[in-house]
Amino acid sequence: MNSFLNGLKKFFSALVNVLTLLLTIFPQLLRFLRGLRRAAHRCFRKPDRGGCCLDLPPTVHLRADPMLYSQFWLMSQGLAVTWDNPDIQIYDMIGNPVAPVGLIPDQDYQVVVRIWNNSYGAPAAGLGVDLSFIHIGIGNTHFPIGITTANLGVKGSAHCPAFAKFIWHTPAEKGHYCLLAQLIWSDDANPNNNLGQKNTLVGETHSPALFAFTITNDATVARRFELEADMYAIPELPRCPDATPLSTTHAATTEGRYAESQRRWAAALLKQAYGMFPVAPDWKVTISPQAFGLAPNGSQDVNVSIERTSGKFIGAQPFNIHGFAAPPNGPRKLVGGVTLYVQGA
């Protein structure tokens, strides 16, 4: 009996101690809960025009934007393009650069794809890079070369640009081939700038220079194709000044990255817009046929003749042939192209 009473006494004593402790910390706990409620109210309330709070959805996060020189993306932004892609380069197995034309059949070559990141805040570790080729032209069958990965850092870092390297064993059949590089990133801020194409031919001005390639309609509907020529080439980068003007530094730090990007796009459109580089009067470009219709999976051989009409020509001059296609009652879209180099004899 005494042991039971002693146990009951200890129990009530412990209970009193717990209640005393709770009463001691209760005011502090109450103040903490009230502060937490006020903070939650401030963070998740609806924004008003005069307030400073942001009503951000929970899915907002930093996203990488892997990219390369993408003719389709640049043309959609109104810029002129070349099909001699500066971000896709071919080398022999020793490391010497080689032109994408006149490659030896049944031979190994190195292909290096240069990749950029348009994001300052999110890298792309393990970025997928898919390389394939087609017989030169537009809309032809793709043949895989390989898939690899690259670790791409944020814009402006030591790991941007990154490089993806492939070994390409050329087909045994002689011919001209076009390389296509496709970046693979599931959480891409802009997936439209992930496809780059390298498609060139070289001819000499032997009254005139003659080229031939094939266009295939790889759509499931009939389309009308139109071909246009221009003389655009990527301009040389201006030399960096020895000292950065104070006004430029101040503007870069105050306008913000988005505003700076918009300003650069506007400047590029003023000097490199599509349509600003027509064929010069001292050249004659004949495309045959220049416009035609194709049924699904139909093909058309195209011949291009380029000749100098006045003056002597020395060097290499690029001519870009851009292919556009439109379904019945549909919009016209860019479907591919080729850059033709004419070399002075």
* pLDDT, tens only, 143-160: 899 999 999 999 989 999
The pair of structure tokens assigned to 152 is: 């791409």
User: Chain-wide mean pLDDT for the chain?
Assistant: 82
Q: In this predicted model, what pLDDT tens digit does every residue of 263-282 receive, in sequence order?
A: 888 888 899 999 999 999 99
**In a domain? residue 190:** no
**In a domain? residue 177:** no
**In a domain? residue 164:** no
Instruction: Say how many domains are in the chain.
Output: 1
**In a domain? residue 251:** no
Nearest alpha carbon to residue 217 among 288, 290, 294, 142: 294
Provide the pLDDT for residue 178: 86
Provide the pLDDT for residue 245: 57
Instruction: List all residues 6 or more positions away from 89 whose beta carbon is below 8 Å from its beta carbon.
Output: 97, 111, 112, 114
CA distance 170 to 148: 18
Provide the pLDDT for residue 263: 86
Provide the pLDDT for residue 158: 92
Provide the pLDDT for residue 58: 46
Q: What is the CATH number of the domain that holds 327?
A: 2.60.40.10
Q: Which residues of the chain have pLDDT under 50?
A: 49, 58, 249
User: Edge to edge, what strands does the sheet with 223-230 contain?
Assistant: 200-204, 333-343, 316-326, 223-230, 291-294
Label each residue of the chain as H, E or C.
CHHHHHHHHHHHHHHHHHHHHHHHHHHHHHHHHHHHHHHHHHHHCCCCCCCCCCCCCCCCCCCCCEECCCHHHHHHCCECCCCCCCCEEEECCCCCEECCCCCCCCCEEEEEEEEEECCCCCCEEEEEEEEEEEECEECCCCEEEEEEEEEECCCCCCCCCEEEEEEEECCCCCCCEEEEEEEECCCCCCHHHCEEEECEEEEECCCCEEEEEEEECCCCCCEEEEEEEECCCCCCCCCCCCCCCHHHHHHHHHHCHHHHHHHHHHHHHHHHECCCCCCCCCEEEEEECCEEEECCCCEEEEEEEEEECCCCCCCEEEEEEEEEEECCCCCCEEEEEEEEEEECC
**In a domain? residue 36:** no
Residue 267: CA count within 13 A, CB half-sphere? 6
How buried is residue 210: exposed, middle or buried, by Cβ count under 10 Å (0-12/13-18/19+)? Answer: middle
Domain enclosing residue 339, as ranges: 199-232+277-345
**In a domain? residue 225:** yes
pTM score, whole prediction: 0.75
**In a domain? residue 237:** no
